[in-house]
Amino acid sequence: MRKNVAPTKTNLISLKNELKFASLGYELLDQKRNILVMELLNLVDEAVDFQERADKVLVTAYSSLENAALDMGKRELLSLSSAIRVESEVNLSQRKIMGVPLPVVQTEYSGQAPWFSPTGTSCYVDRAIDDFRQALEMTGKLAELKISIMRLAREVKKTIRKVNALEKIAIPELRETVAHIQNRLEENERDMLILMKRVKSRLESKRMNP
């Protein structure tokens, strides 16, 4: 209960309004918490799936590169790699969930094949290029998911603290103070009523016995 609050009707009205506002804030924050938790769990599931897929793509890409080196030799493969011109660009934007900014990562490529003659070139070279491009795209998406998870987790933690503060401290304190003031005002009204009855009784008694 709040201390040093005078038991007046003005304070009672003010505290009731404050309690109403705190209860509304609690409901909104509780809804926000539930939405954020659901979104966080969805992103965690998606990140686990993407992590597995990205690992598989990287393993496949390095396997294709090793096979190309076995077919052509490391020197020829290194010489051939200097002819490949694939430019990559990572574009960052953002989306918001309940006011929380989350990154959106998009990977774009420029440069058109063929960069070399297929004669004397291992088929694994083209396969390795495609695999590494796919791996880069998935790595960008994975980074997007992990950063989003960290930001949502921080916001969930802050929201839970606010919800708990309202639910366990602010709202009970306001309710107790409102109840206390109401009881005091009712007591004052009863005391005033008794006093008025006594005054009325005494006045009537004097009137009957001048």
Radius of gyration in angstroms for the set of CA atoms belonging to the chain, rounded to a whole number: 36
Helix, strand and coil percent figures for the chain, each rounded to 5: 75, 10, 15
Picking from 86, 83, 85, 76, the residue whose alpha carbon sits closest to that of residue 121 is 76
Helix (DSSP H) and strand (DSSP E) numbers for the chain: 4, 2
Which residue, chain included where needed, has tokens 């440069």? 111
Q: What is the pLDDT of residues 128-181, one digit of tens each?
A: 888 888 888 888 889 999 999 999 999 999 999 999 999 999 999 999 999 998
- Quote the distance between the C-alpha of residue 196 and its chain's center: 60
CATH number of 9-208: 1.10.287.3240, 3.10.129.10, 2.120.10.30, 1.20.1260.10? 1.10.287.3240
Q: What is the pLDDT of residues 88-141, one digit of tens each?
A: 778 889 999 988 999 998 887 666 655 555 666 777 777 888 888 888 888 888
Q: What is the pLDDT of residues 15-54, one digit of tens each?
A: 999 999 999 999 999 999 999 999 999 999 999 998 998 8
Picking from 83, 79, 68, 75, the residue whose alpha carbon sits closest to that of residue 114 is 83
